[in-house]
Chains A and B, each alone.
Chain A
Amino acid sequence: MTERVAATPGLYPLPDWAKGTLSDLKGHQKGDLLSGDESEAIVEQYDEVRAEFVDDQLDAGLDRVVEGQGRWDDMIAHPLTVHDSVETGGIVRYYDNNNFYRDPRVVDDLDFSGDVARELESAERLIDGEAPLAATLPGPYSLADLASDEHYGDEAAFQAAIAEFLAGEVEAFPAHETLFLLEPSLVTNPPAEGAESTATDAIATVADATDADVVVQTFYGALGEKLYAHLVDEAGADALGLDLVAGDRDDTVYNVQEFGSTDSLALGLVDGQNTLVEEPETVAERVEWFESQIPAEGFDRTYLTPNTELFYLPANKYRAKLNALAAAAEVLD
């Protein structure tokens, strides 16, 4: 019997009230963004944002509650952009989206930071045992891909260093049920032929740092066949997260049919980049359709997730998507 778990990989849109107040407190320019030493007034605003995110998820009835990453100015690059060994360069495009982040230029050894752990400790206090906590981090491959290396000198060494850094952060996390590692670059800029194991070794380094269920969440389309097979066998993930909203879902089905899968899967079922809110029944049908395509008798667990982060959406639609996911899990029960 497959357990169905409604969850999100974090990175929520700020509530509308917070967009104005934080903009006034912090400013609009590159130099005004978060560097990890924000004022008490800004900390208080983010505390309120975090509380609202937790309430949104508890209200919706999600099976995992994330911190929401409202404080992350730089989408998944945040753990580096607030690090002391990192300087921020120009504004660069976040994948093929109309979103931008500061280029993190790693200039020294990446040692322990604790920044994300502190966010999670705050979230844990807010959740107060009402639901299991899920943590969200960039995967090491994507984080290395988004950053500029001005210190380690070679791609493999850089990925390994980022993986060690992230593993150190994970070890400091409070107890969490699930860890989402966001790996969009595996789809958009996959490792070169022969370099797959470097990427999967890096992911395994982070996955090994926690006893939680680790989901390697990919998005923006289907994984290449060979890379998919490497990820299943070598990444140390309990679940691969697969985007079923992007156009090439047949390729994703083929990968699973042909190369098997992790014991659990995370399915990107609602569109994180569109305001059209899916009916819970539609989401449930997508789960059943996908599972019917696969020869295996079932998975240990199927995560019902959006196909991307939800920060792309206006606040009202992001909440509606949370509700749709949670309700879809209910339909399947």
Chain B
Amino acid sequence: MVRNPEANREQFRPNDHPNDAFLLTTVVGSYPKPKWLNRADELVDDPDSKFDAEDLEEAHDDACRLITHEHERAGLDTVVDGEMRRNEMVEFFADRIDGYEFNGPVKVWGHNYFDKPSVVEEVTYDEPWLVDEFEFTSDVAERPVKVPITGPYTLGFWAFNEAYPSTEELVYDLADLVNEEVEKLVEAGARYIQIDEPALATTPEDHAIVGEALERIVSGIDEDVRIGLHVCYGDYSRIYPEINDYPIDEFDVELCNGDFEQIPTFTDPEFEPDLALGVVDAHTAEIESVEEIKENVRQGLRVVPPEKLTISPDCGLKLLPREIAYGKTENMVTAVREIEAEIDSGAIDVENPLDD
């Protein structure tokens, strides 16, 4: 059962928003790190260097400030710090959860690896994972801050399970920990939480496990907090319409990468949460034109009306050159504002959004 997106969406409309129509703009989360930050991350491990952990913290603060402002400069309604403090989406959290250990990197493809952890005992919550990060970003941001968290299904299935009778049971324990973290974030003022579950795309038959995990995550979380779910790169027909039963406000998808061929999947039965639609491709290093992006935004209007449409890039942008990531984001916002104006003027018929 979808939560109540109508109850929490309007808080993200800027006071000076230029149009009556409002398509919420956001990002999935990750963003290219400045090269100097990568160098700083290496330097702190160099025993011959005078660059220490305190210096690295300052560098992370500076990078977070920089990217948050870069998101604001691009015109986004809600911003993220670009995950400057995070290395990899499972490793970062596993490092903070008691019960995990690391044995070394494993292959993803080619020469791309990740430090896949092993769960060796019951997972427990020790200290907050993201509250400091959120508080810092909120302090430097003038726009509302979204907080992406790797979801329990991905934290469970993209780890080796040595300790639990089934990975499903591990996922539910992790979901309880994510719930604890979300409660702390909400207490600190967070109003927009995105649960990232890319692992669901690899094993869509487990959608019921993700649903149960989400129930645990949102337990006790007020409806004025917006809960999004991001699932990238998959055959969405294998989890739709089941996602209509998820307790979320927004479902974020990667469809630009596949030329929106899967859009019809979401039109029958009616899509219930808000749709967060990727309109720029996170896997191509060319900046899409505003006109091209506007066509992509119209694809979203085939599924939901404007007041239920959120616009984002397909996925995190961290693998792109930074100027390309910025160009995509800036054009995306421009395209959205133009679409809103065309909706206001009647130039776009929202019942037939692909018609000129």
Contact = CB atoms under 8 A, between A and B. Distances in A.
Chain A binding surface SS class: loop
B106 A100 contact: no
B275 interface: no
Given A16-B104, A314-B104, A314-B106, A23 B202 contact: no
A22 B160 contact: no
B296 interface: no
B111 A22 contact: yes
B202 A311 contact: no
A199 B112 CA distance: 33
Contacts of B104: 16, 314-316
Interface residues of A, number: 33
B162 A274 contact: yes
A275 B109 contact: no
A187 to B, nearest CB: 15
Contacts of B118: 275-276
A128 interface: no
A32 B105 CA distance: 20
A98 interface: yes
Q: Which of A19, A22, A275 has the most chain B CB atoms closer than 10 A to its own CB? A: A275
Contact of A30 (B110, B113, B158, B202): B110
A33 B110 CA distance: 6
B110 A28 contact: yes
Interface string A64-90: 000000000100000000000000000
Given A93-B202, A274-B161, A316-B104, A101 B109 contact: yes
Contact of B111 (A23, A96, A312, A315): A23
A91 B233 CA distance: 12
Given A93-B202, A276-B162, A100 B109 contact: yes
Contact of A98 (B103, B105, B110, B202): B202
A304 to B, nearest CB: 21
A184 interface: no
Contacts of B267: none
A113 B106 CA distance: 29
Interface string A1-44: 00000000000011010010011001111101100000000000
A28 B319 CA distance: 11
A316 B103 contact: yes
B315 interface: no
Contact of B108 (A29, A33, A100, A273): A100
A91 B106 CA distance: 18
B213 interface: no
A91 B109 contact: yes
How many residues of B sit at the interface, in one of the four size bands?
20 to 34
Interface string A305-324: 00000011111110000000
Nearest to B201: A93
Contact of A314 (B105, B110, B111): B105
A98 B199 contact: yes
Nearest to B167: A274
B287 to A, nearest CB: 19
B107 A16 contact: no
B108 A98 contact: yes
Given A93-B202, A317-B103, A276 B160 contact: yes
Interface in B91-109: 103-109
B106 A73 contact: no
A314 B115 CA distance: 8
A13 B108 CA distance: 11
Interface in A73-131: 73, 91, 93, 96-101
Given A16-B104, A274-B160, A32 B116 contact: no
B111 A27 contact: yes
A272 to B, nearest CB: 11
Contacts of A13: 106-107
Given A276-B160, A276-B162, A311 B111 contact: no
Interface in A282-333: 311-317
Interface in B159-178: 160-162
B106 A313 contact: yes
Contacts of B116: 314
Contacts of B158: 98
Contact of B160 (A97, A275, A315): A275
Contacts of B109: 73, 91, 99-101
A99 B107 contact: yes
Interface string B123-167: 000000000000000000000000000000000001011100000
14 contacts: A13-B107, A16-B104, A19-B105, A22-B111, A26-B111, A32-B111, A33-B110, A73-B111, A97-B202, A99-B109, A101-B109, A274-B161, A314-B103, A314-B105
Given A28-B112, A275-B103, 20 more contacts: A22-B111, A23-B111, A26-B111, A30-B110, A32-B111, A73-B111, A96-B203, A97-B202, A98-B202, A99-B108, A273-B160, A274-B161, A274-B162, A275-B118, A275-B160, A276-B160, A276-B161, A311-B107, A312-B106, A314-B104
Interface of B: 103-113, 116, 118, 158, 160-162, 199, 202-203
**Cβ-closest 7 pairs across A and B:** A314-B104, A100-B109, A23-B111, A276-B162, A314-B103, A275-B160, A275-B118
